[in-house]
A and B are shown apart, each in its own frame.
Chain A
Amino acid sequence: DQQVKQNSPSLSVQEGRISILNCDYTNSMFDYFLWYKKYPAEGPTFLISISSIKDKNEDGRFTVFLNKSAKHLSLHIVPSQPGDSAVYFCAASGGGGSNYKLTFGKGTLLTVNP
C-alpha cells in the first residue's frame, strides 16, 4: 500500500512559467513533509519542508502548500529555470517516538524547456 503518491510521472514546463508538482498521502499520522530534488547519478537533495501546523512555507522560488483535510501537498516553482529539470520526490514522516523514517513517493520528472 503506497502511503505517499505522486500521480504524475512527468511534467514539462516552459522556462519562466510556474511548475506545480503534486503529492497525496493516506497516513493521517504524517506530520512533516519534505520535497527532494534528484539529478541523475546523485543522491536526493533537500529542497523545502513543511510541518503539519503550517499550510504554507516559502523559500525563494520554491513554495510548498499543505492541505491537511485533503491530505494533499504541492510544490510551486516560480519562475521555472532549465536547471530545475530533475526528478522531484515528495516524502513524509510522522507517528511520533524516535522513528523519523521518510516514506517517499515514486517521483515526478520535471523538464523545464528553454
Chain B
Amino acid sequence: EEQLVESGGGLVKPGGSLRLSCAASGFPLSRYSMNWVRQAPGKGLEWVSFISSRSDYIYYADSVKGRFTASRDNAKNSVFLQMDSLRAEDTATYFCARDEGDNWFGPWGQGTLVAVSS
C-alpha cells in the first residue's frame, strides 16, 4: 500500500524552528517529485513547496520563501521541510503529497499540526 506519514509538528514560539519529515512506503520515492501543502485551522488549502525527484528544482510559495527549506533523502525514502523564523500565520496542518507528474497531488499523508504561539 502506498503511504505517506508526516511527523515533526508541534507547538513552537514565534521566531522558532521546526523540521517536518514525510516518510514514504509502498512506492519508490526517488521516482517522484513531492509537495508540501498546508491548511490553517478552518481554512482552505495553500501550496507551500515543491521538490523534484533529484532535488534539482525546488519552488516555494512567496509566503514562506527565505524561511522554509525543502530537502529529501531518497535513500531513506523521506522528504523534509525545515521551517525557520516561524510566525503565527504559519499555524496549520502540513501535508506532504506526491506529485503525479503534472503538478497535481496523488497520495497525501495524514498531516502534522504546527502551532506557532507564545
Asked if A pairs with B, the answer is no
Query: Hey, which bits of chain B sit against chain A, CB under 8 A?
Result: none
